[in-house]
Amino acid sequence: KNEVEQSPQNLTAQEGEFITINCSYSVGISALHWLQQHPGGGIVSLFMLSSGKKKHGRLIATINIQEKHSSLHITASHPRDSAVYICAVKKLVFGQGTRLTINP
């Protein structure tokens, strides 16, 4: 069993829908990072979390340290949100990624 599990692995939705991507981990952590990778390869850091909830624009990330679970939400999804979303908890430990496609 992987130390980090993301679900779903693939998600296709219509523009405007509310999106949720989940990340569950089995290791003890001090922080969790959400990364976004667009086609072409570039990766950007979206959030760093150690507790509670963070919001940047239409993106919201939450973490429950006790339950070892984090979620990434996208409100009013847009085709430009189409990307792979990866959660990372330690240097060696990454989720396998969630490929999100938003259709206009």
Partner 1 sequence: KAGVTQTPRYLIKTRGQQVTLSCSPISGHRSVSWYQQTPGQGLQFLFEYFSETQRNKGNFPGRFSGRQFSNSRSEMNVSTLELGDSALYLCASSLGTSGDFDTYNEQFFGPGTRLTVL
Whole-angstrom distance, CA of residue 28 vs CA of residue 23: 14
Dist. CA 45–CA 102, nearest whole Å: 20
Report if residue 50 touches partner 1, rule: CB under 8 A: yes
The binder of partner 1 chosen from 10, 12, 14, 44 (CB under 8 A):
44
The answer to the question of residue 41 lying near partner 1 (CB under 8 A) is yes
Q: Tell whether residue 61 is a contact of partner 1 (CB under 8 A).
A: no
What residues from 16 to 35 belong to the interface with partner 1 (CB under 8 A)? 29-33, 35
Is residue 9 near partner 1 by the rule CB under 8 A? no
Which residue in 20, 24, 62, 97 binds partner 1 (CB under 8 A)? Answer: 97
How many other CB atoms sit within 10 Å of the CB of residue 8?
A: 12
Report DSSP state, residue 59: E
The interface region with partner 1, picked from 18-26, 56-64, 75-83, 85-93 by CB under 8 A, is 85-93
E strands within the chain?
A: 4-7, 10-14, 19-25, 32-37, 43-49, 52-56, 59-64, 69-74, 83-90, 93-94, 98-103
Residue of 16, 48, 78, 103 interacting with partner 1 (CB under 8 A): 48
